[in-house]
């Protein structure tokens, strides 16, 4: 990685209390609980109430993470918010969270990498701390996907939920558990397979873009599925081999929670023991930048993730973006 070692010193998550179950969706679109479970592995997802934004979810997780690290907001040097659903085009959601938590000494920015936003943000924060520029960085992965989902489109509305996760990244003591390596890539040729067509400079908001429902997520599910399975295996294998490791060396594999079948297919190809793979998509759906911290939190609270464990994080998202982070868990 270069520079001084870094580690995750605290983790916290937040999901809004309101649930949207498969039974609820059966009343909204032409679908069934059986079909959703079979195709995605999802039973329910959390949705915000009207007026609740990404910065609200991110702030709730951030405040908890900073407290669990034994720090105050003024100890944070930089805030990186991975999100594809910012409160608004500008200012950044990082600015809004910085103000809400009172991190008066921090600078920050948003990072847009869709479902890879947490792995990309974690890597970026780690590099800034490793350089010596900061002692502590706050990474927030948060999305209000319900704000850009078409609840008339049964192909996408069953998949996504809202949520947030935050970690504090700090300098690690020599020899202590730390972030070991990362492997990221992008493939812009797949950009049209998963996107929100309108709302940017190419197609600014207009009566026509609204009437054509272009401000919602559009997905070519088969293309995304095939790419995600292939790339999750490829990039995970590459980072393991570079570090002289195999799948058998892992204590935990934490994938972005997009689809149960993607996770099981990729980990089977990689040769990961199913008992070392965490899947919690049935309770949250795909929360985009929040899925990995939500899965990590479940692993910690269930006792499956402990200090010193070797963990591989993996993600594939719109763009296409691909990300993996290899680390020893720090607490």
Q: Give catalytic residues, as residue numbers.
A: 115, 256, 286
68 within 8 A of 12, measured Cβ to Cβ: yes
CA 286 to CA 316: how far, in whole Å? 12
326's CB contacts (< 8 A; 6+ apart) are: 179, 180, 181, 182, 239, 240, 243, 245, 310, 311, 312, 313
92 within 8 A of 110, measured Cβ to Cβ: yes
**142: exposed, middle or buried (Cβ count in 10 Å: 0-12, 13-18, 19+):** buried
How would DSSP label each residue in 307-322?
A: TT-EEEEEEEETTTEE
* Residues constituting the chain: 331
310 within 8 A of 161, measured Cβ to Cβ: no
151 within 8 A of 157, measured Cβ to Cβ: yes
Taking each helix axis from N to C end, the angle separating 54-68 and 93-101, rounded to the nearest 10 degrees, works out to 50
Residue 170 CB: number of other CB atoms within 10 A? 21
Quote helix, strand, coil % in the chain, to nearest 5.
40, 25, 35
Please count the CA atoms within 13 angstroms of the CA of 128 that sit on its side-chain side.
23
Residue 189 is given by DSSP the state G
């Amino acid at each position: 990685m270069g520079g001084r070692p870094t580690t995750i010193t605290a983790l916290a998550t937040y999901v809004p209390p309101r649930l949207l179950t498969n039974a609820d969706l059966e009343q909204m679109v032409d679908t069934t609980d059986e079909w959703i479970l079979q195709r995605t592995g999802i039973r329910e997802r959390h949705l915000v109430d009207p007026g609740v934004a990404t910065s609200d979810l991110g702030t709730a997780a951030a405040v908890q993470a900073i407290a669990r690290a034994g720090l105050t907001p003024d100890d944070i040097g930089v805030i990186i918010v991975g999100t594809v659903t910012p409160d608004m085009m500008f200012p950044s959601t990082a600015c809004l969270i910085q103000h809400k938590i009172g991190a008066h000494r921090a600078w920050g920015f948003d990072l847009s990498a869709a479902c890879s936003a947490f792995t990309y943000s974690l890597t970026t924060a780690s590099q800034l701390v490793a350089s010596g520029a900061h002692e502590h960085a706050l990474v927030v992965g948060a999305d209000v996907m319900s704000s850009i989902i078409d609840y008339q489109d049964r192909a996408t509305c069953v998949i996504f939920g809202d949520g947030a996760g935050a970690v504090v990244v700090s300098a690690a003591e020599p020899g202590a558990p730390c972030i070991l390596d990362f492997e990221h890539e992008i493939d812009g040729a797949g950009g049209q397979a998963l996107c929100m067509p309108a709302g940017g400079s190419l197609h600014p908001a207009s009566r026509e873009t609204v009437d054509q429902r272009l401000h919602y997520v559009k997905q070519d599910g088969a293309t995304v599925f095939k790419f995600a399975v292939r790339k999750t295996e490829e990039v995970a294998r590459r980072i393991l081999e570079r570090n002289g490791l195999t799948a058998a060396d892992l204590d935990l594999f934490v994938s972005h929670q997009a689809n149960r079948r993607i996770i099981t297919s990729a980990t089977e190809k990689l040769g990961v023991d199913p008992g070392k793979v965490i899947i919690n998509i049935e309770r949250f759906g795909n929360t985009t930048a929040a899925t990995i911290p939500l899965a990590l939190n479940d692993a910690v609270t269930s006792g499956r993730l402990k200090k010193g464990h070797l963990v591989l994080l993996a993600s594939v998202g719109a763009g296409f973006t691909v990300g993996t982070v290899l680390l020893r868990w720090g607490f």
